[in-house]
Amino acid sequence: MTGNDRQKILIVDDERINVAVISSYLSEDYDVITASNGESALEMVKEEVPDLILLDVIMPGMDGFDVCRIIKHDYKLDFIPIIMLTALTSKDDHQKGIEVGADDFLKKPADRFELEKKITALLRIKEQHDSLLLERNKAYEYLDYIGSLVAVLDEDYRLVHINKKGSDMLGYNRRNIINRDWMDLFVAESYTGHVRDRYERLLKDGTGSSEYHEYPVMTITRKERLFRWYDSVLKCDDSSEKCILISGEDITEKRKDEIKLIEYAEQMKHSNELKDLFTDVLRHDLLNPAGLIRSFTELLEETDTSDRQQHIIENIKRSNSKLIELIEDAAQLAKLESMEEMAIIRTDLATISRDQLENFAPFMQSKGIKAEMHMGTSCPALANPMIEAVFSNLISNAIKYSPEKTVISMSIDDLGDRWKVKVKDRGDGIPDRDKGAVFERFNRLHKENIKGNGIGLAIVKRVIDLHGESIGVLDNPEGKGSVFWFTVKKAM
């Protein structure tokens, strides 16, 4: 080895001749540093962190056993091999060396070949240990970045490791909970028996290692958080004992959301039932008396009445007609909103256009409005019969919003695989900010002197949506007014 790759060996001996001899053996291949007593050796270990220590046993003051014990048990350092150099040969001395953590022994005076052989073997072990430690630390660092709690428990369920995310979830500093009992500190009391049984089976034969399970843990504020866990068994460091690797996802909020979603689904079910009930009330319980009112007003119109009475009857008839229209439109919209799809048949848009314009002829004549048509004699399309309601509502709105003695127009353009139907009026137009809202139910932008209930365009939008087609509104390029358009698939 050369330069920064050379490993560092600390020689601790109070006899200069021994230090000189061993240094001459090793200086060619290693960086050699020396200490003459136990106290200076400990300081040098802290400062230099050598790769291996050759430690004399008998020294003035602190002996080699004390130095070895402090380095191995008190210093928080990575693995540093220690070879004890001793003239002592009794079994008790060797036993004492093992107890304080010595890795090997060499009898003084040291034989060069045996010394180099032991150093080479222990440094190889240290390299393997450092490599494993590096990989472990990388794994721990990776665990700190993932979004789940990841922890390692020993066979007594003490916490060996927990990632930063996990300690943050629990509200603890990692240093304060390592080696604490997982069951006592974290598992909710009502679940400790269940969790202990599961982990015992896991350590015994791996039962349940491929299964997810749930149990709550206690945070530092003693609040329960529900976690979903996945467990597996692994070997603990430097031992034959097993450990349990647990990874948990905090599902407390998710479970609350699931409960809310279930409650919302129940509310929606109840709401749909109420909507169906309301629709039935609209169709029957309200429409029937409204029909009777219309019949009575028609009878009253045939009797001899004063001008004032006739005016009252006309107001009743007009208001009742508006009520019937509202009931019928609301019931139709409720029916459309409960549908998910429509039956499609072959139909002719040109015929529907002409028929609907003819139906509104009396209304147009009362306002002196004329209609223009720009389309072929036939426009075969694939549509549901309710497409007629789209034409009816758009033509009705064009007439309502156009001033007297103006022109409305209807055209059908060929887009290749679709028809584009356009209804053009000469009304006040719709501001850009309101164009998206005009198809919302009960939204009528111009209310003054206009008959209508604000449901018509919502019906139009829903019918087109059920066809899987597009609808919109533009400004009239010819001046004042709007152009409502929608598309329908062609029948080939």
Domain boundaries, the chain: 3-141, 147-250, 256-337, 345-489
C-alpha–C-alpha distance, residues 300 and 293, integer Å: 10
Kindly report, residue by residue over 216-247, the tens digit of the pLDDT: 999 999 999 999 998 888 776 555 678 898 98
Q: Is residue 143 very low, low, confident or very high in pLDDT (cuts 50, 70, 90)?
A: low
Q: Please determine, for residue 345, whether its predicted confidence score (pLDDT) is greater than 60.
A: yes
Picking from 322-331, 361-370, 394-403, 445-454, which range would have the lowest pLDDT averaged per residue?
A: 445-454
Q: In the chain, what percentage of residues exceed pLDDT 90?
A: 43
CATH topology of domain 256-337: Helix Hairpins (1.10.287)
What integer pLDDT is reported at residue 405 of this predicted model?
Answer: 93
Q: Please determine, for residue 111, whether its predicted confidence score (pLDDT) is greater than 70.
A: yes
For residues 44, 106, 68 and 99, what is the CA-based torsion angle, rounded to 10 degrees? 170
What integer pLDDT is reported at residue 361 of this predicted model?
Answer: 93
Per DSSP, the residues of 115-175 read HHHHHHHHHHHHHHHHHHHHHHHHHHHHHHHSSSEEEEE-TT-BEEEE-HHHHHHHT--HH
| CATH superfamily of the domain spanning 3-141 | Response regulator (3.40.50.2300)
Per DSSP, the residues of 285-341 read IIHHHHHHHHHHHHHHHTS---HHHHHHHHHHHHHHHHHHHHHHHHHHHHHHHT-S-
Residue type, position 283, single letter: R
End-to-end Cα spacing for the chain: 84
Q: Is residue 208 very low, low, confident or very high in pLDDT (cuts 50, 70, 90)?
A: low
Q: Which of 87-101, 164-178, 199-213 has the highest mean pLDDT?
A: 164-178
C-alpha–C-alpha distance, residues 196 and 49, integer Å: 42
What tokens appear for 102 in the block? 């010595």
H-helix segments, 340-479: 349-359, 361-367, 387-401, 456-466
C-alpha–C-alpha distance, residues 160 and 236, integer Å: 9
C-alpha–C-alpha distance, residues 213 and 315, integer Å: 71
C-alpha–C-alpha distance, residues 130 and 255, integer Å: 44
Architecture of domain 345-489: 2-Layer Sandwich (3.30)
What integer pLDDT is reported at residue 453 of this predicted model?
Answer: 45
Kindly report, residue by residue over 433-455, the tens digit of the pLDDT: 888 788 876 554 444 433 444 67
Q: Is residue 321 very low, low, confident or very high in pLDDT (cuts 50, 70, 90)?
A: confident
149-153 sheet: strands from edge to edge: 159-162, 149-153, 242-250, 224-235, 212-218
Picking from 66-70, 85-89, 315-319, which range would have the lowest pLDDT averaged per residue?
A: 85-89
The mean pLDDT value for 339-363 works out to 91
0.85 exceeded by pTM: no
CA 310 to chain centre: 67
Kindly report, residue by residue over 129-141, the tens digit of the pLDDT: 887 777 766 666 6
> What mean pLDDT is reported for the chain?
84
Kindly report, residue by residue over 4-34, the tens digit of the pLDDT: 578 999 999 999 999 999 999 999 999 999 9
Q: Is residue 2 very low, low, confident or very high in pLDDT (cuts 50, 70, 90)?
A: very low
What integer pLDDT is reported at residue 452 of this predicted model?
Answer: 42
Q: Which residue has the higher pLDDT, 135 or 97?
A: 97
C-alpha–C-alpha distance, residues 260 and 265, integer Å: 8
CATH of 147-250, one of 3.20.20.70, 3.40.50.720, 2.160.10.10, 3.30.450.20: 3.30.450.20
What integer pLDDT is reported at residue 291 of this predicted model?
Answer: 72
Q: What are phi and psi of 106, to 5 degrees?
A: -140, 130
What integer pLDDT is reported at residue 36 of this predicted model?
Answer: 92
Residue with token string 């929606």? 268
Task: Report how far apart, in Å, the C-alpha atoms of 373 and of each of 3, 309, 358, 408 are.
Answer: 95, 43, 12, 9
Q: Is residue 277 very low, low, confident or very high in pLDDT (cuts 50, 70, 90)?
A: low
Kindly report, residue by residue over 406-439, the tens digit of the pLDDT: 999 999 999 999 999 999 999 888 888 888 788 8
Of 439, 399, 421, nearest to 352 (Cα)? 421
Kindly report, residue by residue over 162-200, the tens digit of the pLDDT: 888 889 899 999 889 999 999 999 998 899 999 999 999
What integer pLDDT is reported at residue 281 of this predicted model?
Answer: 58
